[in-house]
Chains A and B, each alone.
Chain A
Amino acid sequence: MSAINLTTTLKHEQFIEQVSRESGQPVQQCYQCGKCTAGCPIAFSMDVPPNRVMRMVQLGLRETALSCNSIWLCAYCSTCSVRCPKNVNLAQVMDALRIIAGKEKRAKTARARHVELFNRNFLNSIRRYGRLHEFETMTMYNLKSGQPFKNADTGLYMLSRGKLKFLIQKTSQMDQVKQIFARVKELEEK
């Protein structure tokens, strides 16, 4: 690990403030016991263990915290949150970091990009139909992630069991769904 300069600056303070606000969590309460990491089912595949992500936030290390894989791989299982002796809802902190990193288009590694792409396709389906259209979402995901035949066996199996529908089920009052997306955008840009 490379050396990290810990001189606190306004920039650091701003990041700590931002994550605390967006997650609604008292991030300074964490005393680094590591219980979150011990129980995290995904930690084995993360580049930075959850308790270290917390520490980065506490120190205001914006760049490092927002560029790790962990915030994308976190499955929001909330095991860490229910076990934390300091009542920090770490899943919520991970969510906040993911949201900030997403807005800044920071999903760079293959693992992170795949999660981000999947989420984006999923939301596109809701934006268009009000509901998830599994078949289209999967196909688009496969195409855009550059693996057109990924999960083809899964698709075939689902088809054979009557579990794939090509017909699109729509919410009928799509104007209401469109309004949700539009209003959120408007309010966030204010």
Chain B
Amino acid sequence: MKFSYYPGCCYETSAREYDMSSQAVCKKLGIELEEIEDWNCCGSTAAHSTNHLLALSLSARNLALAEQKGLDVVAACAACYQRLAVARHELNGDPDLLARVNSVTGLPYTASQRVLSMPEVIASYGVDNLRARVNKPLTGLKIAAYYGCLLVRPRSIQIDDEENPHILEQIMECCGAQPVDWHYQTECCGAGLGISNEDIVFKLVADILEDAAANGADCIICACPLCHFNLDLRQAKINKKLKQKFNLPVFYFTQLVGLATGVNPAVLSLHTHFINTKTIKRKYA
């Protein structure tokens, strides 16, 4: 399997754990990732909130570059995934809009290649195949799989059911972990409002953490740098502001797949989290 890889702007900074662990896990499983040469930002929420044509065109440039290689695209970041997948979906069904966007980018995009998320790529390896590769099972580790919004909504690009998805739980079960039943799988964390209106995000994230803890999770897994930022980094702030005592490590799901398949923990960036991952590392790394 070979894919064009879109790392996204946070790959070296706030989301380095995701980039490093995705690359390491794919390498381990023999999934080849070829970085899209000279990619640009997908435009994120800032672009689609400001100008529809601009948002489509910024994403389309990346997709056009990938198309030249003839490979399907995988984006690690869920936000990038959503933007690229939505652009491809809109342009695939609307030749006039496609022509307009191509006249903006100056690149001949035809919306042929698929856009996939990282959970889909790992799942496409196959449940049995993945299980066979697990040599350090995460036995007894209770995880709350958090999807947030961007992987399951809107419908045109969802990778699984919008209210009751399973794909991450399935991957975690292959790894020997024990997914918990909980209620906040697909509730929004507030995303970028964390910067502009932090108080709103405090409430949203506190509810998510509380439900994960109440249902016995040892940790949360996610597939989105925005979610990770809000759940991991803001956790201590929430403890202070809302007088709580949350202590839930938040992993990218690829970090745990990495641990279970025997990837060298040093390349999974387990030490750059805000909430200490030591207890889990000690047990499973």
Interface string of A147-166 (1 = CB under 8 A from B): 00001011001100111110
By the criterion CB–CB under 8 Å, are A172 and B38 in contact?
A: yes
C-alpha gap A134/B9 in the complex (Å): 8
By the criterion CB–CB under 8 Å, are B52 and A99 in contact?
A: yes
By the criterion CB–CB under 8 Å, are A119 and B49 in contact?
A: yes
Chain A: residues with Cβ within 8 Å of the partner, total of: 60
Residues of A109-136 at the interface with B, using a CB-CB cut-off of 8 Å, are: 111, 114-115, 117-120, 122-123, 125-126, 130-132, 134-135
Partner of A164, one of B13, B53, B58, B188: B13
Identify the stretch in B169-177, B192-200, B214-222 within 8 Å (CB) of chain A at 4 or more residues.
B192-200
The answer to whether A45 and B200 touch (CB under 8 A), given A81-B153, A126-B43, is: yes
Interface string of A164-190 (1 = CB under 8 A from B): 110001011100110111011001100
Residue of A nearest to B56 (CB): A184
Partner of A41, one of B49, B104, B162, B187: B187
Determine whether B279 belongs to the interface, using a CB cutoff of 8 Å to chain A. Answer: no
The answer to whether A165 and B12 touch (CB under 8 A), given A78-B149, A99-B50, A180-B104, is: yes
Chain A interface main SS type: helix
By the criterion CB–CB under 8 Å, are B49 and A102 in contact?
A: yes
C-alpha gap A162/B271 in the complex (Å): 10
By the criterion CB–CB under 8 Å, are A171 and B13 in contact?
A: no
Determine whether B284 belongs to the interface, using a CB cutoff of 8 Å to chain A. Answer: no
Determine whether B14 belongs to the interface, using a CB cutoff of 8 Å to chain A. Answer: yes
Chain B: residues with Cβ within 8 Å of the partner, total of: 56
By the criterion CB–CB under 8 Å, are B61 and A176 in contact?
A: yes
Partner of A165, one of B13, B46, B53: B13
By the criterion CB–CB under 8 Å, are B104 and A115 in contact?
A: no
- Which residue among A89, A131, A141 has the maximum number of chain B CB atoms within 10 Å of its CB? A131
By the criterion CB–CB under 8 Å, are B54 and A181 in contact?
A: yes
Which residues on the A side are within 8 Å of B50 (C-beta)? 98-99, 102, 119-120, 123
Min C-beta distance of A133 to chain B, whole Å:
8
Determine whether A13 belongs to the interface, using a CB cutoff of 8 Å to chain B. Answer: no
Determine whether B245 belongs to the interface, using a CB cutoff of 8 Å to chain A. Answer: no
By the criterion CB–CB under 8 Å, are A163 and B272 in contact?
A: yes
Which residues on the A side are within 8 Å of B278 (C-beta)? none
By the criterion CB–CB under 8 Å, are A183 and B49 in contact?
A: no
By the criterion CB–CB under 8 Å, are A122 and B48 in contact?
A: no
Identify the stretch in A29-37, A47-55, A60-68, A69-77 within 8 Å (CB) of chain B at 4 or more residues.
A69-77
| Chain B residues with a Cβ under 8 A of chain A | 9-10, 12-14, 16, 38-41, 43-54, 57-58, 61, 100, 103-107, 149, 153-155, 162-163, 186-188, 190-193, 195-197, 200, 203-204, 233, 237, 271-274
Q: Can you offer 14 A-B residue contacts whose CB atoms are under 8 A?
A: A22-B52, A73-B200, A78-B149, A98-B50, A126-B40, A126-B47, A132-B9, A132-B44, A157-B233, A169-B9, A176-B40, A176-B107, A180-B57, A184-B54
